[in-house]
Amino acid sequence: MKLNNARPTLLLRLAKWSALPLCLLFTGCGEAPDAASNGADATTEVTMDAEGMMPARRQKAFKKIFHAVPSPIETAMLLERSGIQFDAEALHTLENAVGYSTTELQSVNLGIYAGDLSYSVIFNQNQQSVEYLNTCRRLCDGLGVGDIINADLISRADNNRDVRDSLVDIVTDTFYELNGRFRENGMEEVSGLMAAGGWIEGVYLGTRSLNSSTADLKLRIAEQKMTLDNLIGLLGSYAPTPALTNMKEALRPVEAAFAGVTITENPAVSTAAVDGTVVISGGPEVNYDEATLTAISESIAVVRNQYAQ
């Protein structure tokens, strides 16, 4: 199936960093050191981290890639706009959260539950939203950031359970505050694993009913290939750890499934309509078939259920 996606979507705007060269992560792509830009002697000693990158530049590269991966609330909005129907049975079981005792499982499942929380908020499942927020709080306690989702935040969410925009703001602010705290605490790996869990859950929820999915939803699923590229870049920007290695290995079959999607960027072309308005065409051309979507659905279910057990 070939589709021209002429209108700019949230996902495609977020995926602009999919072409970010790997050299940015490791060498800065020729960017001059801060010392040189200030006129300092070129022989000035510069502190490097374990991967040979100046910490400030590594952080800059990390932020660019991280923000190219949609937050759970952004993914949920994408699903809603694509015509998906709410499916409570697809959500991760709340009771399972008490069994996650390792940092790896807590981090990934925090992302998964954040995805379910966002999904519930966007589809106006108000009581369920508060329950998933409480579950996220339990996992945050285990990760040492329980003060972010505190009793006041839970109360505010409960008081605003009938105001979707307020819940969206609460979830969005909480997600980015968590990321900020993890980075401050030297736990960037946790941010990456949480982002992976949220993305996995979003694709999982979006592929539960492929047979009845709209063409727009199928297109959005195929476009997730760009987000996966960004996510792999994010995970690869850290020094390897067993948890990150496990996640990258788990995502390999998903990468293989998405290999069936091809995306070609066509130059934008403007033409004048009869009424004098300007019509912009062109943009990315996405090619995929039903077999590819089935492979994506099956592979994402495997990795999701590997962590959400």
State pLDDT tens for residues 218-269: 998 999 999 999 899 889 888 889 999 999 999 999 999 999 999 887 776 5
- Check pLDDT > 90 for residue 161: no
Q: Is the dihedral of CA 140, 153, 127, 163 positive or negative?
A: negative
Query: Helix count (H) and strand count (E) of the chain?
Result: 13, 3
Please tell me the total number of residues recorded for the chain in this structure: 309
Are 25 and 236 in contact by the 8 Å Cβ rule? The answer is: yes
Burial of 265 (0-12, 13-18, 19+ CB in 10 A): exposed
292 contacts: CB under 8 Å, gap ≥ 6: 222, 257, 258, 260, 261
State pLDDT tens for residues 68-113: 667 788 888 888 888 888 999 999 999 999 999 999 999 999 999 9
Give the pair of three-digit tokens for residue 227. Answer: 């987000």
Give the pair of three-digit tokens for residue 248. Answer: 């990258």
pTM, to two decimals: 0.76
The pLDDT of residue 228: 94
- Check pLDDT > 90 for residue 209: no
Alpha helix (H) ranges present in 29-125?
Answer: 34-37, 55-66, 72-81, 103-122
3-state secondary structure 111-136: HHHHHHHHHHHHCCCHHHHHHHHHHH
Share of the chain above pLDDT 90, in %: 45
